[in-house]
Amino acid sequence: MTHPLSPRWSIRILMLMLACCCWVGSLGAEKEDYLTAEEVEELREAQEPHLRLKVLRELLEKRLDKVRALKDPASVKPKLPESKPDKKKSAKSDKVEAAPPVEVKPESKSLLAWMEDYLRCLEEVSDNVENFSSAPLEPKAYLKSLNKLESTLQEHAQWINQIEGQLDRPERKVVAEISDLVEELTEDLKAATEKTQEQIKLIKEAEKARSSQKR
């Protein structure tokens, strides 16, 4: 026989459920607050494993580009906007005026902040690689994403190691965390690569067996 809950207990349970929902929401906000709204949307749209890794790799590259710009501002070249020809003007003259260079505004974030963003993005990559280990995927496309990601990480690690001696103590602490995570992630990528290659091999063998049966 079930007993109805008293109003007091009902209120307590409702408050507990609301608190849990708020906690989960705050975790999601903390996870995404280093991303722009456009980047969040890109990640949401990239549901397939190989597409998700591609987007995450591009996010990593953007963060490291910000770090590079702050360490060597002279290397940052202003990007020219894409000039769209005016149909009315083009009818009168064939000459197209070059658009003026866009002024490069100084970044509001510090070098340490961008490095922390890079670390958080790296953690996101690590979580995804681990979660995809048991998820259905397109082996060939996923293998391609894995190889590109591993190559990108090696390039980034090499550059970060070169500038480590020029960093302050808080920045070197973040670099140490990045290095540890890159080492761990590299091992996970190798394991994922071997597993994906084995899947591709099994698929080829199955296709070969089917084709031989048809003969």
Largest CA distance in the chain: 89
Does residue 159 contact residue 209 with C-beta atoms inside 8 Å? no
- Per-residue tokens: 32: 């995404």
As a whole-number percent, the residues of the chain with pLDDT over 70 amount to 67
User: Domain ranges in the chain?
Assistant: 48-74+106-215
Mean pLDDT for 167-180 is 95
Q: What whole-number distance in Å separates Cα of residue 150 and Cα of residue 34? A: 23
Res. 141 pLDDT band, cuts 50 70 90: very high
Res. 208 pLDDT band, cuts 50 70 90: confident
> What's the chain's average pLDDT?
77
> pTM of this prediction?
0.69
Look at 58-62, 177-181, 204-208 and tell me which has the smallest mean pLDDT.
204-208
The domain 48-74+106-215 having CATH identifier 1.20.58: the answer here is: yes
b/e per residue, 92-127, with b = 16+ CB within 10 A?
A: eeeeeeeeeeeeeeeeeeebbbbbbbbbbbbebbbe
Q: What whole-number distance in Å separates Cα of residue 76 and Cα of residue 138? A: 37
Does residue 153 contact residue 186 with C-beta atoms inside 8 Å? yes
